[in-house]
Amino acid sequence: MKLSALTFGLTMAGLSHTVLAADAVDEHTFANLKDVVSTHLHLDLDIDFEDKQLEGFVEHTLAWQNSHARTLVLDTRDLEIDKILYQSPQGKWLPAQFTLAPRSGVKGAKLTIQFKHQASKARIYYNSLPQASGLQWLTPVQTASKTHPFMYSQSQAIHARSWIPVQDTPAMRTTYTARIQTPKDVRAVMSADNSEAFIKDGDYWFDMPQAIPPYLIAIGAGNLEYKEMSHQTAIFAEPQILDASVAEFNDTQAMIDKTNAMYGEYAWGRYDLLMLPPSFPFGGMENPRLSFITPTVVAGDKSLVNLIAHELAHSWSGNLVTNATWEDLWLNEGFTSYVENRIMEEVFGRDRAVMEQALDAAGLRAQLKNIPAPDTRLNLKLNGRDPDDAFSKVPYIKGQLFLIYLEEKFGREKFDVFVKGYFDAYAFKSLTTAEFVQYLDKHLLKKHPGIVSLNKAKEWIYQPGLPEDAPNPTSDAFNQVDSHMQAWLSGNKSLDTLPTSNWTVHEWLHFLNNLPRDLGLDKMAALDNAFNLTNSSNAELAFAWYMLAVGNGYQAIYPALDAHLSGIGRRKLIVPLYKALASTDRRDWAYRVYQKARPGYHPLAQGTVDAIFE
């Protein structure tokens, strides 16, 4: 894509130097960023499917911040370090002394490297281990094609250190290049320029010229084919799902164009999608230039494409402007959820956007009842916990509602100027919540005085729960669904008179999520007989129905539920079901299903479900 003046300026900002968040204190890294920063990484790795490991080296280009320092400290987890070399001021490669400490909780193992001189580059030779938390290795039988193995990474939040010795914190940014070698019939792709991956030859080169935080370094490899959707977008996928994915997501270019108009031009060149196997534990991952996507959103009717809008929105919020620590996660996810909904409104209309707001807000309010109050603050305090614990609906939807609140108070025109200015001001930078509060106060609250006070903004950010005047999005379509539902529940209407043939997936979700948890077996059976909900091909609808059925003790779902839990690994669609089942007389059944399904789950999903049954 030809770069506009804005995009060119942003790209040059991303290239020029590594920007550190000014006041970030990241408790989840060992890195000594005040002494030295990695400004560029070069990866040279072989993908060994047989031994389930990456093997090779990473080369760090170093920018020294302290003239007296001679030590580089990196984050690792379950890595074997073979040797370390460094480049002297004269350009010679010399052996470096290093110490790999024992593993320390979630942070992993501290790698301390000592130099005789301030090295310009350091090269760490290493291999990952099969249990690396940031990698999943799938045998051919666990893939759609059944012919080739598959491997993919998930580096967020602090899993990059399980496959790269790196300063694993979002407070810093680095560019990277890579040479990746695979079996000749396996294609590798990365969160980078993938133009060298078009030819499948087992030897691939990648370049990410914009500086990104390490959690956005990503890799995938498998029986991948490629198909363009537009001049700027394409899909990599196994052949079995490629055409369906292209048909499902061919509005991606329209989403990019609309977001460009609202918030400034897309700064990353191409925006491609990698369709992952069903074991992927998330809906999507916003790896720049190549979002990773679950196949569970390929519904055949574009009803779940807000996920694509969400991952695309991260190209501005998260990838371009990044939370400095994982306690500031809401800066990534709250803004992204807000921008996602604006994209959906622009492309699919206001009614659909409001329905999605209402579903999300209802989900948040339900989850708030089950989360400890301190964890319902936007600026979360992890106190040494795994940053994966930060990923609830709070940073996403409470953050989104805060921004909707500001938009409603100041008006969309003024608020759009603020958001675009925020993205411009912090492009290719990381910031803390405290820095954001200062920016908000100066550029919105004081610029338009007497509308929202600083104390009110701080209530949203630092206090638990939702403020009393928090937005509560309502949909006229949902009001109609509620009316029909109450008429059926009271016996005034039969199921065959409900206008369900015109319902969208969103209306169905609202209907299922709001039915009583003590509905009764007769009504459950009537619903299933009328609408065949147990065999729904829409993963979100099936999940909502199974949750309702488990709560009501409806036994007819269990063969289909077995297939659902065994066939996908997306945590959103399996973890609540395991939790619900574990509190019923079906606990033993659920545990047997889990033991069968567990080898196909990602390590992140395994850890979550293991804890349920422990």
Binding-site residues from annotation for Zn(2+): 310, 314, 333
Say if residues 287 and 311 touch (Cβ distance below 8 Å).
no
What are the DSSP calls for 68-103, one per residue? T--EEEEEESSEEEEEEEEE-TTS-EEE-EEEEPPP
SS3 category, 203: strand
- Sign of the torsion angle spanned by Cα atoms 392, 395, 400, 402: positive
- Stretch (H or E) spanning 356: helix 350-368
CA–CA separation, 348 and 506 (whole Å)? 13
For β-strands 36-48 and 174-181, DSSP reports them as parallel
How many C-alpha atoms does 404 have within 13 Å on its Cβ side? 24
* DSSP label of 425: H
* Alpha carbon distance 431, 318 (integer Å): 10
Residue carrying structure tokens 């191409």? 270
Residue 298 — φ and ψ, nearest 5°? -85, 85
CB 404 within 8 A of CB 360: no
Residues 281, 460, 424, 195, Cα dihedral to 10°? 0
Alpha-carbon span 544 to 580, nearest angstrom: 12
94: helix, strand or coil: strand
Residue whose entry in the numeric block shows the structure tokens 């395991």: 578
DSSP state of 161: G
Q: For residue 11, what are the contacts with CB-CB under 8 A and spacing of at least 6?
A: 3, 209, 210, 267
Closest CA to 157 of 169, 146, 144: 169
- Cβ 398 vs Cβ 376: under 8 Å: yes
Q: How far apart are CA 397 and CA 181, in angstroms?
A: 41
Quote the tokens at residue 156.
């967020």
Please spell the DSSP secondary structure of 286-326, one letter per residue.
--TTEEEE-GGG--SSSTTTHHHHHHHHTTTBTTTEEESSG
Q: Is the CB of residue 128 less than 8 Å from the CB of residue 54?
A: yes
Residues annotated as catalytic are: 311, 396
Q: Are strands 174-181 and 187-190 parallel, antiparallel or unpaired?
A: unpaired
How many CB atoms are located within 10 Å of the residue 209 CB? 16
Do strands 234-237 and 225-228 pair parallel, antiparallel, or not at all (unpaired)? antiparallel
Distances (CA, A) of 38 to 77, 109, 119, 290: 18, 18, 11, 23
